[in-house]
Amino acid sequence: MIKMAVVSGKGGTGKTMVSAALADLNPDSQILADCDVEAANLRLLLNAELQGQEPFYGLEAALIDQELCISCGTCFDNCRFGAISEEDGRYEVQTMHCEGCAVCELVCPEDAIKMVKVQNGELFVSKTNHGTLVHARLYPGSGTSGLLVSQVKGKAEELAENPRWMLVDGPPGTGCPLIATVSGMDAVLVVTEPSVSALHDLKRVVNVSRRFGPKIAVVINRFDLEPEICQRIRDYCEEEGLAVVGEIPFDPQVVEAVRQGLPISRCGGPASEAMKPVWDAINRELI
């Protein structure tokens, strides 16, 4: 199975748009995974039908047994994260602020505090016309995005029935979710755009991805909006030995395709036409 992740250094470059089009253009069997667990939108462009879901448990959080608590305040004094509140002598843990360090459990003289599992999100399995899609939703404030990404990938591999491809729509940025996404990938396709911030973040995401040894290529979306910066991106890719497998022009029909919940490969127009040779170049440069 060939594992490829589509990622971007910053949000808004068109990463999910490209992922959906590639899923639509791929003639081979595939399993799909949306590892942007804080904003999983691939399902919206693939007309996904929910088949099942399960809870995701991340870090444990502290829980105070009020029957055992003597209101000594030791936990309150030792919590570095301000996760324990006090009102009228009653101490309670604010789960959203708890980092799971278990210091309060350690210092409690009455063993009134225990670490318990807390649901931090949900993992979903959906059916699409392009293959099974595994995606997730991380609850706001939860700090276990990398762990949830790993579970999304693991579930996708578990459900895979000998497909030729595993296509992953990755997260933007260079943090834990990206690291968890590109780990174990054979290829990484970076989607960028002609802006100063996008070029800066392109360099960062390439630097992080290289540490995991995949083949890396670049797609420039809306390349015709700023020719000077687009040329700087081409120059950078040439210097770094990165193949530019496609340049997608600005196309208002893309917005209409998104409104209709369709991959851009189905909408016609310049952007749609530009995506077709991207798939051929991926097979030529990355596989």
| 81, 212: one domain | no
| 53, 133: one domain | yes
CATH number of 12's domain = 3.40.50.300
**Residue 227 Cα distances to 15, 110, 154, angstroms:** 20, 68, 41
CATH number of 90's domain = 3.30.70.20
Q: Which residues contact 34 (CB under 8 A, 6 or more apart)?
A: 40, 41, 42, 43, 133, 134, 135, 136, 152, 168, 169
| 136, 195: one domain | yes
| 52, 77: one domain | no
| 194, 221: one domain | yes
| 110, 145: one domain | no
Q: Which of 100, 117, 134 is the last residue of a domain?
A: 117
Residue 8 near residue 172 (C-beta atoms within 8 A): yes
Q: Which contacts of 207-211 are long-range, i.e. CB under 8 A and separated by 24 or more positions?
A: 208/174, 208/178, 208/179, 208/182, 209/7, 209/178, 209/182
Residue 48 near residue 212 (C-beta atoms within 8 A): no
**Residue 52 Cα distances to 33, 49, 126, 140, angstroms:** 15, 9, 7, 22
Both structure tokens of 274: 């530009």
| 96, 208: one domain | no
Report the domain count for the chain: 2
* Residue 286, pLDDT score: 80
Both structure tokens of 82: 């301000």
| 187, 276: one domain | yes
Q: Which of 117, 133, 155 is the last residue of a domain?
A: 117
Q: What is the dihedral of CA 23, 29, 35, 37, to 10 degrees?
A: 80
| 148, 244: one domain | yes
Residue 76 phi, psi dihedral angles, 5° rounding: -60, -45
Distance in angstroms (rounded) separating the CA atoms of residues 42 and 40: 6
Structural domain that includes position 139:
2-57+122-285
> DSSP characters for the chain?
-EEEEEEESSTTSSHHHHHHHHHHH--S-EEEEE--TTS--HHHHTT-EEEEEEEEE-S-EEEE-TTT-----HHHHH-TT--EEEETTEEEE-GGG-----HHHHH-TT--EEEE--EEEEEEEEEETTEEEEEEEEPTT---HHHHHHHHHHHHHHH--S-SEEEEEEEESSSHHHHHHHTT-SEEEEEE-SSHHHHHHHHHHHHHHHTT--EEEEEEETGGG-HHHHHHHHHHHHHHT-EEEEEEPP-THHHHHHHHT--GGGT-SHHHHHHHHHHHHHHHHT-
| 111, 175: one domain | no
Q: Which of 69, 93, 117 is the last residue of a domain?
A: 117
pLDDT tens, N- to C-terminus, the chain (287 residues): 999 999 999 999 999 999 999 999 999 999 999 999 999 999 999 999 999 999 999 889 999 999 999 999 999 999 999 999 999 999 999 988 999 999 999 999 999 999 999 999 999 999 999 999 999 999 988 878 999 999 999 999 999 888 999 999 999 999 999 999 999 999 999 999 999 999 999 999 999 999 999 999 999 999 999 999 999 999 999 999 999 999 999 999 999 998 999 999 988 899 999 999 999 999 888 87
* Residue 119, pLDDT score: 93
| 8, 108: one domain | no
| 222, 237: one domain | yes
Q: Which residues contact 137 (CB under 8 A, 6 or more apart)?
A: 37, 40, 121, 122, 124
